[in-house]
Amino acid sequence: MISRLTVLGATGSIGQSTLDVVRRHPQRYRVFALSAATRVERMLADVLEFTPQFAVMTDPQSALALMERLPEDCPTQVLAGADALPMIASHADVDMVMAAIVGAAGLLPTLAAAEAGKRVLLANKESLVMAGPLFMDAIRRGGAALLPIDSEHNAIFQSLPAGYDGDARRFGVERILLTASGGPFRGRTHEQLHGITPAQAVAHPNWSMGQKISVDSATLMNKGLELIEACFLFHCTPDDVQVVVHPQSVIHSMVQYCDGSVIAQLGQPDMRTPIAYGMAWPERIDAGVKPLNLFDIARLDFTPPDEATFPCLRLARDAFIAGGTMPAVLNAANEIAVDAFLREQIPFTAIPTLIESVMAAHEARPLTSLQTVLDADSWARTQAAGRLGEFPMNTEKQV
């Protein structure tokens, strides 16, 4: 039986890896819809190869450009605007949805897929960070299957016992060990981070990722967001999760049990492995990933994270503990801060300071509705944007 797939964020690294898995298994998967923002050339190539029923460009001008480039006999219908995303995520003809839009923009279509009972392949961690209780309730109400795609959460999912429901004592789970590469500035002091450039921050040593996620990895905010995500996915608290810096990115995460066992998932730093696992679960299929050779690796290192130099991990933990709207505020302030850094409007070291100032000005409110989340998100963006001038750029660059 062929599974029909919508890929939200098709032209990004996760989307392209997903399409590569589809390409390897044409007898199992068919692309129903693709979405992107502005990458017309990449979307054009994907539409011509996979001929989906719908192609959504959230930027209207890009949608027009795509329509003009497609041949007249192409059966794909091009839609413009973010309003079309929930439709292609919840369409009756869709079986599974790869939620790979980065940031808050992925929340509404991912939530629509959950409510419609799809197999949700969750690479958009912001859906859980911003609206964790609402999202998990939508999964339950819709009867959706939720498969984590972030390599760390996918590894935890593989390392937990079948049927794990959050009752750690009954299943013998003692602790979740969430690994982090440490990013490109692992081992540096706060003083050594002054003058860091966007080009340096996006040069991740192990993974090929978009600019925003690469900067989040460099600040450890990505691990903070993953900490929040893990708490919702696996029904635990930050006290149950230990972040471990593992620079080789070979062990993707681990689960520690009460009998002294630690079960780990190892593999190449290639997102096609967790993507293929999520698409085919509970089966396993070829992902096109090179086998891991332990003799080539030779050693595995582990150190605790430096939260004094990289405070974003602490801020994420504080946001989860505060609860309610605070994680949405954390996420929104981070998105504004990272965008400003990439535009060279604020220095790298200002990212956590800006986020913390916005969080300090916010009084967390209960998540009573999706509108509560959206209002908190909007408020935090306005607050963060209004504070950018407080953080002048450094004149001295790091080398």
Q: What is the pLDDT at residue 52? A: 98
- pLDDT tops 90 at residue 103: no
Q: What is the pLDDT at residue 392? A: 84
**Bridge partner residues of 4 (DSSP):** 30
Q: State mean pLDDT over 389-397.
A: 71
Cα 351 to Cα 309: distance, rounded to the nearest angstrom: 12
Q: Indicate the range of 12-16, 50-54, 104-108, 156-160 predicted with least confidence.
A: 104-108
- Minimal CA–CA distance to 34: which of 151, 370, 1, 70? 70
- pLDDT tops 80 at residue 396: no
- For residues 387 and 339, is the Cβ–Cβ distance under 8 A? no
DSSP letters, 290-358, are PPP-HHHH-----B---TTT-THHHHHHHHHHH-TTHHHHHHHHHHHHHHHHHTTSS-TTHHHHHHHHH
Q: H or E segment at 396? A: none
Both structure tokens of 285: 């299929």
3-state secondary structure 145-186: EEEECCHHHHHHHHHCCCCCCCCHHHHCEEEEEEEECCCCCC
Both structure tokens of 267: 């593999």
- For residues 335 and 212, is the Cβ–Cβ distance under 8 A? yes
Q: State mean pLDDT over 268-281.
A: 96
CATH ID of 3-148, from 3.90.1150.10, 3.20.20.140, 3.40.50.720, 3.30.70.870: 3.40.50.720
Contacts of 330 (CB under 8 A, 6+ apart): 129, 224, 315, 316, 319, 355, 359, 380
Single-letter amino acid, residue 376: A
- For residues 152 and 399, is the Cβ–Cβ distance under 8 A? no
- Dihedral sign computed on CA atoms, order 154, 116, 142, 286: negative
Chain segment 278-289, per-residue pLDDT in tens: 999 999 999 999
Domain residue spans of the chain:
3-148
What distance lies between CA 225 and its chain's CA centroid?
Answer: 8
- pLDDT tops 60 at residue 94: yes
Average pLDDT for the chain:
94
